[in-house]
DNA sequence: AAGATGAGCAACCGCATTATA
DNA sequence: CTATAATGCGGTTGCTCATCT
């Protein structure tokens, strides 16, 4: 009760908290007559017990006529993510690029997303999660034109080596592209079958053209229709590569990449970041016989072009 | 059924910048 | 030119409602 009093008004007798319909009407009528601005005059002229800042906020974020209503579309969300990559937390600048959306709306979306991802151990934005240590070094760039920056950025910091522990392999499809990228310029890809043997993926019961899949039951925790695995090459630009190298594609989709035990989501940014130090510092961890191909297992619904 | 928890959202706060007297 | 007011921006809080235990 006491708390409510504090929240509803400040010491100047001006109201705080949620706006009522009557207050909205007063404010809207004021703006209609006088235009935007002079927000401090609203309370003086209309008897609206709100401070100027509060009036401005309410108008810009809720009452203005050209505001879009409803949740952000997938396109809008993707745009925000891209904008954040280039602009950083400049919400008002982002709002200019998203007509009908307010800086507050965009900020809320981002913060909610950020919170979710932190919970999952993911950085808010995959591009920025790892900084390129040598911005000028572009010796590999041409070879990986279809690989996103973050992966490219780490290529020249990794080294080739001979061994990797089974657990690292088992956990990480992610380590593989990371180190393979560097090998591309030197070594040809291994055939997928060899990788399967080497890494003991016991999943594959069938072969169809250039990918393999299995129909055995996926983990019950996910509503999956099938499970498939496909070699991914950093040099290719197919659907799976697109998904794998651009984790933001997965946002708001029903497709999930998860590890072979069905326990953890695969996320390029997460795993690259998690293993960044390891791969950078311990070159002996990188297997000799991983060359160009990695596997991802997709659990999901309705992936076009697949059974 | 009820309390706990969490997501989403609206709104406030403090600081920086800009306008005005 | 300077002091003050107004506005703008980004960080943060806190309320509401839905879901979970």
My answer on whether A28 and A59 are in the same domain is yes
Tokens read off for A70: 């409803």
My answer on whether A54 and A90 are in the same domain is no
pLDDT of residue A102: 92
My answer on whether A115 and A85 are in the same domain is yes
Residues 3-22, chain A, CB closer than 7 Å to nucleic strand C: 3, 7, 17-18
- Strand B lies under 7 A from the Cβ of residue A295: no
Nearest-CA residue relative to C1' of B10: A18
Q: What is the mean pLDDT of each run of 10 residues along chain A (307 residues)?
A: 39 80 90 86 85 91 86 80 81 89 91 78 45 27 27 25 24 26 22 28 26 26 33 47 52 47 43 37 37 37 29
> Number of structural domains, chain A?
2
pLDDT of residue A242: 53
User: How distant is C1' of B8 from CA of A108, in Å?
Assistant: 8
Q: Is residue A48 part of a domain?
A: yes
Q: Is residue A116 part of a domain?
A: yes
Looking up tokens 């708390």 gives A3
Tokens read off for A53: 């800042």
| Closest among A289, A284, A285, A283 to A198, alpha carbons compared | A289
My answer on whether A78 and A54 are in the same domain is no
pLDDT of residue A122: 60
Q: Which of A87, A105, A120 is the last residue of a domain?
A: A120
Residue A52 belongs to a domain with what CATH number?
Answer: 1.10.10.60
Q: Is residue A37 part of a domain?
A: yes
pLDDT of residue A79: 81
Tell which strand B nucleotides have any atom below 7 Å from a protein Cβ. Answer: 7-14
Give the domain range for residue A104.
Answer: 74-120
pLDDT of residue A121: 63
pLDDT of residue A66: 83
Q: Is residue A262 part of a domain?
A: no
Q: Is residue A101 part of a domain?
A: yes
Q: Is residue A246 part of a domain?
A: no
pTM reported for the whole predicted model: 0.53
Which nucleotide lies at the shortest CA–C1' distance from A53?
Answer: C7
**What span, in angstroms and rounded, lies between the C-alpha atoms of A172 and A154?**
17
Q: How many CA atoms lie within 13 A of A228 on its CB side?
A: 22
pLDDT of residue A1: 31
pLDDT of residue A227: 35
Cα dist. A83→A72, A95, A108, A119 in Å?
15, 10, 15, 23
My answer on whether A86 and A59 are in the same domain is no
Q: Is residue A224 part of a domain?
A: no
Q: Is residue A114 part of a domain?
A: yes
């Amino acid at each position: 009760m006491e708390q409510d009093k504090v929240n509803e008004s400040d010491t100047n007798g001006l109201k705080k908290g949620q706006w009522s319909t009557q207050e909205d009407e007063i404010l809207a009528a004021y703006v209609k007559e006088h235009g935007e601005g002079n927000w401090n005059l609203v309370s003086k002229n209309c008897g609206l017990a709100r401070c100027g800042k509060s009036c401005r906020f309410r108008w810009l974020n809720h009452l203005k006529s050209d505001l879009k209503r409803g949740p952000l579309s997938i396109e809008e969300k993707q745009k925000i993510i891209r904008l954040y990559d280039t602009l950083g937390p400049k919400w008002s600048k982002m709002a200019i690029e998203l007509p009908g959306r307010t800086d507050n709306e965009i900020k809320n979306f981002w913060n909610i997303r950020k919170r979710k991802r932190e919970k999952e151990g993911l950085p808010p934005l995959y591009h920025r999660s790892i900084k390129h240590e040598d911005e000028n070094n572009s010796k590999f760039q041409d070879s990986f034109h279809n690989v996103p920056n973050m992966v490219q950025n780490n290529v020249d910091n990794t080294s080739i080596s001979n061994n990797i522990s089974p657990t690292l392999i088992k956990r990480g499809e992610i380590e593989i592209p990371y180190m393979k990228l560097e090998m591309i310029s030197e070594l040809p890809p291994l055939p997928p079958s060899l990788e399967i043997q080497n890494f003991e993926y016991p999943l594959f019961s069938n072969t169809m053209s250039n990918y393999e899949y299995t129909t055995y039951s996926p983990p019950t925790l996910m509503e999956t229709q099938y499970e498939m695995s496909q070699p991914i090459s950093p040099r290719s630009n197919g659907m799976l590569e697109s998904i794998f190298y651009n984790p933001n594609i997965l946002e708001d989709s029903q497709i999930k990449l998860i590890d072979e035990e069905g326990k953890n989501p695969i996320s390029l940014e997460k795993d690259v970041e998690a293993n960044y130090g390891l791969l950078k510092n311990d070159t002996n961890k990188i297997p000799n016989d991983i060359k160009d191909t990695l596997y991802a297992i997709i659990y999901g619904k309705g992936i076009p072009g697949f059974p």
